[in-house]
Amino acid sequence: MKVILASDHLGVEFMGRLRDTFPDTEFALALSEEEMIREVADAEVFLGWPSKKVFSAGTGLKWVHCIGTGIDNVEALGDIEASGIPITNARGPHTEPMADHTMLFLLSLAHNAKKMLNDQAKGEWDTNGYDHVEVSGSVMGIYGFGMIGRAIARRALGFGMKVIAVDPGPDDDVPGVNVWGLDRLDDLFRASDWLVVACPLLPETSMTVDARRIALLKSTSSLIVISRGGIVDEGDLSNALIAGNLAGVALDATDPEPPAADSPFWSHPNALISSHSSALTPELYEGRRQIVVDNIRHYLNGEELIHQADAGKGY
pLDDT bucket at 219, cuts 50 / 70 / 90: very high
Among 63-72, 188-197, 215-224, which stretch is predicted with the lowest mean pLDDT? 63-72
- Could you give the C-alpha distances from 139 to 12, 107, 145, 224, in angstroms and in order? 44, 14, 15, 13
pTM (predicted TM-score): 0.93
Cβ atoms of residues 194 and 142 within 8 Å: no
pLDDT of residue 170: 63
Q: How many CB atoms lie within 10 A of CB 181?
A: 10
Q: How far apart are CA 2 and CA 60, in angstroms?
A: 10
What's the domain count of the chain?
2
List, in order, residues 6 or more apart from 58 with CB less than 8 Å away.
Answer: 40, 41, 43, 46, 50
pLDDT bucket at 171, cuts 50 / 70 / 90: low
Residue 108, pLDDT > 90, answer yes
pLDDT of residue 172: 62
> Is 235 part of any domain?
yes
Check whether residue 103 and residue 172 sit in a common domain. Answer: yes
Tens-digit pLDDT profile for residues 196-209: 999 999 999 999 99
What number is the average pLDDT over the span 120-125? Answer: 94
Q: Which domain does 56 fall in, by range?
A: 2-92+282-300
Tens-digit pLDDT profile for residues 278-292: 999 999 999 999 999
Closest by CA position to 161, among listed 132, 191, 135, 134: 135
Residue 193, pLDDT > 90, answer yes
Whole-number mean pLDDT of the chain?
Answer: 96
CATH number of the domain where residue 11 is located: 3.40.50.720
> Is 111 part of any domain?
yes
pLDDT of residue 314: 85
Cβ atoms of residues 165 and 146 within 8 Å: no
